């Protein structure tokens, strides 16, 4: 499974998940900046995720709150995990890393068994909720 973490995540987090992953969830990380360039827009990220078959993991609540972007995620067949909690964006580096590590196994399981396209919102309390196309 290949995951693209958006630019709001520390780059080291994706690399760490790759190093720490074990069967049955072999994690591959796409370096956003190296792949799409610095400052790539949401639409370019969504297009690339759909074209390459990557799962998108986003801290940008706007990507799922914007109806046009939400529709694009579905049109491009992207499996998306979006952190929708109100506190997440205010967390420190270590709080963010700890949170992602705590939900990683469930996220991998859902990615493995849920047909694309999908959007799962993830709350501050680590609850996953499937969202519709908007």
Q: For residue range 69-92, what is the model confidence (pLDDT) as tens digits? A: 999 999 999 999 999 887 777 888
Give the residue with greater pLDDT, 104 vs 87: 104
The DSSP secondary structure of 25-65, one letter per residue, reads ---EEE-HHHHH-TT--HHHHHHHHHHHTPEEEE--THHHH
Give the DSSP H or E segment for 69. Answer: helix 67-75
Q: What is the pTM of this model?
A: 0.88
Q: For residue range 9-61, what is the model confidence (pLDDT) as tens digits? A: 777 887 787 777 766 666 666 677 778 777 788 898 899 999 999 999 998 88
pLDDT for position 29: 64
């Amino acid at each position: 499974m290949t995951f693209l973490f958006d630019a709001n995540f520390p780059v080291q987090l994706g690399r760490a998940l790759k190093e720490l992953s074990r069967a049955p969830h072999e994690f591959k990380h796409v370096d956003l900046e190296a792949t799409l360039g610095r400052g790539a827009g949401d639409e370019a990220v969504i297009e690339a995720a759909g074209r390459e078959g990557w799962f998108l993991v986003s801290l940008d609540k706007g990507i799922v709150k914007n109806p046009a972007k939400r529709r694009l995620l579905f049109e491009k067949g992207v499996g998306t995990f979006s952190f929708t909690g109100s506190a997440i964006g205010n967390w420190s580096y270590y709080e963010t890393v700890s949170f992602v590590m705590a939900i990683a196994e469930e996220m991998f399981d859902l990615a493995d068994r849920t047909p694309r396209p999908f959007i799962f919102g993830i709350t501050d309390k680590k609850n996953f909720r499937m969202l519709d196309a908007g």
